[in-house]
Structure 1
Amino acid sequence: MSGMEPRRSQQWYGGDDRNSYIHRAWMRRGLPADAFGGTRPHIALANTASDLTPCNSHLTEVARSVADGVHAAGGVALHLPVVSIGETQVRPTAMLWRNMAAMAIEEMLRANPIDAVVLLGGCDKTIPALLMAAASVDLPAVVVPGGPMLTGTFRGVPLGCGTDVWKLSEEVRAGTLAEAEFQRSESSMIRSRGHCNTMGTASTMGLLAEVLGMTLPGIAGTPAPDSRLLEAAHATGILAVELADSGLRPGAVMTRASFLNAIVALAALGGSTNAVVHLLAIAGRLGVDLTQDDFDRAGSGVPLLVDLQPAGRFLMDDLYRAGGLHAVLAEVRDLLDPAALTVTGRPLVAYLDQVLIYDREVIRPRDAPLRAEAGIAVLYGNLAPDGAVIKPAAATPELLSHRGPAVVFDSVEDLHARLDDPDLPVTADSVLILRGCGPRGYPGMPEVSNLPLPAKLLALGVRDMVRICDGRMSGTAYGTVVLHVAPEAAAGGPLAKVRTGDMIVLDVERRLLAVDIPDADLAAREPSPAAAAAYAAPRRGWEKLYVDTVLQANTGADCDFLIGSSGDRVARESH
């Protein structure tokens, strides 16, 4: 609480009129009288725990430790279940509901008598949605990332959840792994509570929440079953009370400097391409001037230091053992903006002194990186007038400059129907193109850009090809995949006009993605009728609102009416 300004919760509980009476009386189910006098801040625990979001199911236990910390610091802890999105469960894709979850969480934070909020998330879309909501309502907020699971093993080999699903399933299709063995690996893949143990989207966004300054320093990347997560959760509860007193808000923490630091970290970590759309969307809620090109400018020359799947060998509990996020950041400290703050009020870089790397195989020193240049490359050309992205660290180096004939699929259903057709006109030099998978077309921009390879090529030993799509791919995936093509086919993008047999040019060094035909000829073509017939055409509900208002990937795929913020003020009293 800055200065002598009354707590926000006192707008509900202060006074002796009928409305204040109602607000207090209905909350006296266990809360003592001194909870309403304005001396004790009311802290919401916005919790995405759900049995249908298995990666977040342990957050109820974590929330109890947060509540204990809030109470120890003199605050009032209030559990607030919020919309939860299970990446592995919901159909058609969790991304369809990221914006809805952010909107619902924002409205609940604004509508309720709270002075600060602790945001508990883990699975891919939950931390982005929580941060988007916190940015738009701009109440004092702090994140508790749920943390990665421990590493399981199969036939004596560590399993990277997600990444090894793709690998093992392709081996089945290639005939080199028996279906029964593949099914047997299923019970080994998910060893414990927590989100994916690869450097997928969940791991990436948990770590970047800390780089953005929005967590207790040192918590990100703590494995979900580790007792130290509960210890840090307790400390976060104490910090939330301090935030309610200081009034430090997300808008003062997540500045342009913070986002540029996150881009540097994304590259050094080998993080998920999904971070591009999530960071852009969070920045859009804050009014921070961040563009897709910033990812290339600030991150493309940063060395890849973390040897984790899918770009490397190890897994998230190895990263934690090796020194964790701070050890990585210390190696690129000269690339970080020292002005960027954390929720403690201290700069991020203040926590990087005397940090050590304990395993230099997992975290490479700056002078011996896994790759000299990592990060996200942003491509332009007549196939992507508004840009597309590629993660070179996950690609086959020889394919980063490639020319080959297109093999075009008009929808996910078309892909499944024809991919393994023995007569499909495809070779290892072909470029697989899948369209109709952007924010508007599918809808929700599904993680399908890392197309499976044709069975007849798998049988010949082919394990990577150039693939192009207007959708996304899982952060656990790998390969030479160009994704987030904008505008998407369903929004009139030129991807809708490409035909099988067209020569496609990919040149990552030149940042070029093009179809080798004259621009006038491309413009004169009609879009594919088969692709148009497969685009989403919802008649009601959130899906219709989403399709009618969603923006393109190059700006974060938020809805046009959700850009920006409305602050924490409630316009009208309810009683």
Structure 2
Amino acid sequence: MEKKLRSQQWFGKKGKDGFIYRAWMKNQGIPDYELQGKPVIGICNTWSELTPCNGHFRELAESVKKGIIEAGGFPVEFPVMSLGETLIKPTAMLYRNLVSMDVEESIRANPVDGVVLLCGCDKTTPALVMGACSVNIPTIVVSGGPMLTGKFKGRDIGTSDLWRFSEDVRTGIMSEEELNMAEAGMCRSKGHCAVMGTASSMASMVEALGLSLPGNAAIPAVDAARKVLAQLSGKRIVEMVREELTPSVILTRAAFENAIKVNAAIGGSTNFVIHLLAIAGRVELPLTIDDFDRLSKNIPLLANLQPSGNYFMEDLYYAGGIPAVMKELSNELQLDCLTANGKTVRQNIEKATVYNRDIISTMQEPFNQLAGFIVLHGNLCEGGGVMKPSAADPKLMQHTGKAVVFENIEDYKARIDDPHLEVDENSVLVLKNVGPKGYPGMPEVGNMGLPKKLLEKGVKDMVRISDGRMSGTGFGTVVLQISPEAAVNGTLALVQNGDLIQLDAKGRQLNLLVNEMELEKRKAALPAPFNPFNRGYAKLFVSHVEQAHLGADFDFLKGKSGSDVLRDSH
């Protein structure tokens, strides 16, 4: 016997309640038969003119609707809060959990049988996936796609070049006029960042997890194939409803392990760690930060993409996309995982082909042996800290240096270019109070720009540590997401100027070389942690956000809550 559709608990009702549900929907010109037993598919849209990465989503939603109608479903598009990493203050990460709640409650409270998640900019993907997982109805993801590769003075550029341009302007190598020219040529089409930044890493994540159709991650936003994928996704979600194929069926332990290995092979963003941990928490899967190190340790870098390589997402698409990368990785993956199209990973990658070996290399001759993440422990990061070795200077992976401490981001901005700053190329730059509670929201400031006086001497990299994050487009020998953070009086809060800090990436250690007695003395002098906000979302966030090594989700959002309908109010 076919299971009754969830939406019929609204539209299938008799009497007053059913009258109200149907009548008000009909004011949009909807014939009665559309509400009589067709699967109702929600299109969760993060379109916003304040989120340029997602600015083309109204058009993309129309393609999704075509597929839903073609398969015999009824599409209903609804908005949720949209997070534009490029504009939103103080940081989009502050609102990731809020959007996940928006998505969860919008799905639960409304008559939808399945949902298509339209997401692109960095935080929209994990936020929408987290929310949908908490309700656990059939779900498929359609990413917005990367923008076309930027152009400047006859060469290709992308978001990763912004960090280079910034330092070149600070040292006079590049003029403001040239910077303006680069600005005009970088974002030349719809879509998210053209490099393997966080947005592309998230699109690759959902594909590797099996939550999207194969090929989702790399198709450029303006390529006609993106609309085709959207229409096919709309068609497929109707079938998923009939098959009762929910996220809890797809998101197995094996699927998470596959995603970690794929992220390592493509040189994905360090933000992948914090978002995948949060998603795992929503499906009650015991994933830890150390799993990322363990599972990626033997995976080399196969994709030659910025910021760890030379090419762009557009090039990855032409070279075969994520299916081709996964085929190269096939001996390391669990191929029997079921995916959103109803097929296994094995079936999805069977015919995948690599068309350009400069972009996707082999396991035997990888682009770089260093890949994945290094997860550090030690007295400076007892909960963990994350490094991306493919973006770091190998000479700095074993390093001891004196701390140059910035108490917060304002302190950093005020002093980093002071010619009297006591710093040299062997120093370790330390930024405090930019973690989940301390900022709040954990901004992408971990890859601190180097002191101007060192840039002028030709210094290109230094060891930098913080309790914050960095953009997936960033690079350098940077230890991120140190946990516990300074704002909760983790050891990071105790670091003083001149203290010796030892980084041992090979040994997975980050330590403050100060004796325990002195550390206890310093800790006793610290004020107790407190929440500086007395109202609103910021108060909720600081009161309930967990530490980075747990995914920085809210403590009360762990685990699925089910898709059962809320009480009728009529």
State the distance in 2 between where 1:79 and 1:420 align: 49
8 A contact 1:420–1:456 mirrored in 2: yes
State the distance in 2 between where 1:327 and 1:385 align: 38
Aligned to 1:68: 66
SS in 2 for 1:445: coil
1:373 CA displacement: 3.3
Match of 1:522 among 514, 519, 523: 519
8 A contact 2:531–2:543 mirrored in 1: no
1:66 CA displacement: 0.3
Aligned to 2:128: 130
8 A contact 1:54–1:86 mirrored in 2: yes
Aligned to 2:425: 428
State the distance in 1 between where 2:23 and 2:87 align: 40
Residue type at the aligned position of 2:565: V
The residue correspondences of 1:429-448 to structure 2 (distance < 5 A) are 429-448=426-445
Aligned to 2:394: 397
Deviation sequence 1:442-485 (CA, Å, 0-9, x none): 00000000000000000000010000000000000000000000
8 A contact 1:264–1:302 mirrored in 2: yes
Residue type at the aligned position of 1:32: P
Match of 1:347 among 334, 344, 349: 344
Report % sequence identity.
50
Residue type at the aligned position of 2:401: G
Residue type at the aligned position of 1:546: F
Match of 2:476 among 473, 479, 498: 479
State the distance in 1 between where 2:477 and 2:528 align: 26
State the distance in 2 between where 1:471 and 1:380 align: 16
State the distance in 2 between where 1:497 and 1:422 align: 26
1:532 CA displacement: 8.7
State the distance in 2 between where 1:51 and 1:300 align: 40
State the distance in 2 between where 1:350 and 1:295 align: 26
Q: Is 1:550 aligned to 2:545, yes or no?
A: yes
SS in 2 for 1:233: helix
Aligned to 1:560: 555
Match of 1:366 among 339, 363, 366: 363
8 A contact 1:448–1:471 mirrored in 2: yes
Residue type at the aligned position of 1:561: F
The residue correspondences of 1:199-278 to structure 2 (distance < 5 A) are 199-278=196-275
Residue type at the aligned position of 1:353: E
* Count of matched residue positions in the alignment of Structure 1 and Structure 2: 569
Deviation sequence 1:369-399 (CA, Å, 0-9, x none): 1212310110000101111010000000110
Gaps of 5+ in 1: none
Aligned to 1:301: 298
Aligned to 1:53: 51
Q: Which runs of 4+ in 1 moved over 2 A?
A: 526-529
SS in 1 for 2:43: strand
State the distance in 1 between where 2:258 and 2:517 align: 41
Deviation sequence 1:512-571 (CA, Å, 0-9, x none): 000112233222214786x999x8722211111000000000010001111112111123
1:31 CA displacement: 1.6
Match of 1:148 among 138, 143, 146: 146
1:152 CA displacement: 1.5
Aligned to 2:84: 86
Q: Is 1:160 aligned to 2:169, yes or no?
A: no
1:426 CA displacement: 0.2
SS in 1 for 2:479: strand
State the distance in 2 between where 1:516 and 1:274 align: 28
The residue correspondences of 1:278-317 to structure 2 (distance < 5 A) are 278-317=275-314
State the distance in 1 between where 2:566 and 2:107 align: 14
8 A contact 1:98–1:126 mirrored in 2: yes
Aligned to 2:536: 541
Match of 1:114 among 109, 112, 120: 112
Aligned to 2:411: 414
Q: Is 1:451 aligned to 2:448, yes or no?
A: yes
8 A contact 1:443–1:536 mirrored in 2: no
8 A contact 2:429–2:464 mirrored in 1: yes
SS in 1 for 2:384: strand
1:218 CA displacement: 2.1
Match of 1:18 among 12, 16, 19: 16
State the distance in 2 between where 1:237 and 1:254 align: 20
TM-score of the pair, normalised by structure 1: 0.97
Aligned to 2:33: 34
State the distance in 2 between where 1:528 and 1:93 align: 30
Match of 2:185 among 162, 179, 188: 188
Q: Is 1:492 aligned to 2:492, yes or no?
A: no
8 A contact 2:108–2:566 mirrored in 1: no
TM-score of the pair, normalised by structure 2: 0.98
SS in 1 for 2:128: helix
State the distance in 1 between where 2:401 and 2:21 align: 67
8 A contact 1:296–1:377 mirrored in 2: yes
Relative distance call for 1:532 and 1:472 in structure 2 (3 A) is farther
